[in-house]
A and B are shown apart, each in its own frame.
Chain A
């Protein structure tokens, strides 16, 4: 499932104007209502919410349109909409009757709907919700589950991240493995981490971002790594000739708009680790003769449309220990790029 699929699954949502703050909206509207509607705290304009929904769609629906727009373009569209609707954060907001209960917002603050902070929060939250819903659906496919049966919640790119994630994890019954927050794909602990009744800033979602403004994200943990750390995982599914059908598509939910619904957990209860797999045949020497990509692009090509590159690789077997081989590959890549950066800096 791609993020476009995730968005398509969530299409058809209505919009829910509200003068309430996020926390109050959570109390006032049932989870199901919020899941089926686009809303944003203290946003009373039906028109603006509709434009917001469409702008986010444009950001995420690249596969449908073949054209890519970025975060700045979405932010611009929303700013233009707010201006056209005469939005004024300090004096009456949109001027709707419900706005009489909305307190004035300091320009540039997170309460100001037209501030970069607020708009970036909405866009980032939406993007992450749909990306992680798609990621979660793909992770439940048999081959993914066999290779990467667990998620680890890892730090994101936040400049000043929350310091209490491990405390939250322990509070909801999570186990730390060498200080890492790891649990099986589909484990109920993920929805507990995003439960708004437990944490004030939670988004009521079972996928990242679990809390407002969080940039934390999932990373798959390999079966070998889980066994090494002692994480209880279900047995590896049988290898099938064809991948199984995708699980039910996730629906949306909100901050700002909409965390995915909680699908049925397809992962069986944790059991004893499986017997280690047999050793693979000896690997031949890697092949390093690589062709140049076949694709070319004209000088006046539009960088926003779909570009396709085709590469043929002469494949060889990797090391027997797949996780060790993979981590070695990543380390080599980081070192190679570091040297390239250094060389560029010297040349400059």
Chain B
């Protein structure tokens, strides 16, 4: 799960708030809730529309995208607190917006990276009877396999047939940070500003 705590420096709007709300100032929690509505809406709709992804891997493999972002959108929850806005997203993969991950295998010796349409979005353990093999470029040229290197795949059913590699084996992998998969700080700030305006409008309409 990814948890994002947004806190706000109100110094730039202090004069406006004082003029509009008087000495009592804003009800911070309610004000932050208005901000949260727009910050959350921006984030949810952005994920739903898959703005931050071009499905590069799926497209390269000719596979149907997993729609990870669109599915994660429904888990976004933004709430106003006394201190600011807290936004949570249940899919930990979204934290790649902030961090580069260096992955290493935990339960086995190798990570398995999908390299075919058939294996995209799946775990190697979902397949039966896969075998590890190491092939050279010469093996590939000779038609023994469709992919060189250390691979996990399906052995040929007939003698002399081709080994179909489904996963590449590796001891570590890096998933680079990609800030654009979520709205930028500035975009969240603008959304919060819209929420603040909505709060003031609501407050003034009640006055």
Contact = CB atoms under 8 A, between A and B. Distances in A.
Nearest to A297: B99
Interface in B12-52: 12-13, 16, 19-20, 27, 29-30, 33-35, 37-38, 41-42, 45-46, 48-52
Interface stretch (A60-68, A189-197, A260-268): A60-68
Q: Which of A278, A284, A326 has the most CB of B within 10 A?
A: A326
A315 B202 contact: no
B4 A70 contact: no
A138 B206 contact: no
Nearest to B103: A303
Contacts of B42: 326, 329-330, 333
B93 interface: yes
B180 A277 contact: no
B204 A337 contact: no
Given A138-B77, A290-B186, A283 B50 contact: no
B6 A62 contact: no
B74 A309 contact: no
B45 A330 contact: yes
Interface string A202-242: 00000000000001010110000000000000001011111
A318 B5 contact: no
A65 to B, nearest CB: 9
B190 interface: yes
Interface in A1-19: 2-4
Contacts of A275: 205
Interface residues of B, number: 89
B141 interface: no
A325 B184 CA distance: 17
B136 interface: no
B123 A73 contact: yes
Contacts of B73: 217
Nearest to B35: A315
A154 to B, nearest CB: 8
B192 interface: yes
B196 A318 contact: yes
A316 B12 contact: yes
Contacts, number: 262
Contacts of B187: 329, 332-333
Interface stretch (A48-56, A126-134, A173-181): A126-134
A280 B204 contact: yes
Contacts of A131: 74-75
A111 interface: no
A220 B16 contact: no
B190 A303 contact: no
Given A147-B198, A314-B189, A317-B193, A309 B4 contact: yes
B192 A313 contact: yes
Smallest CB-CB A-B distances: 5 pairs? A131-B74, A318-B194, A318-B193, A68-B92, A277-B205
Interface of A: 2-4, 60, 62-63, 66, 68, 70-73, 75-76, 79-80, 116, 124, 127-128, 131-132, 134-135, 138, 143-144, 146-148, 156-157, 159, 215, 217, 219-220, 236, 238-243, 275, 277-284, 286-288, 290, 293, 295, 297, 299-301, 303-320, 322, 325-326, 329-330, 332-334, 336-337, 340-341
6 contacts: A63-B90, A68-B93, A132-B74, A318-B190, A318-B197, A326-B42
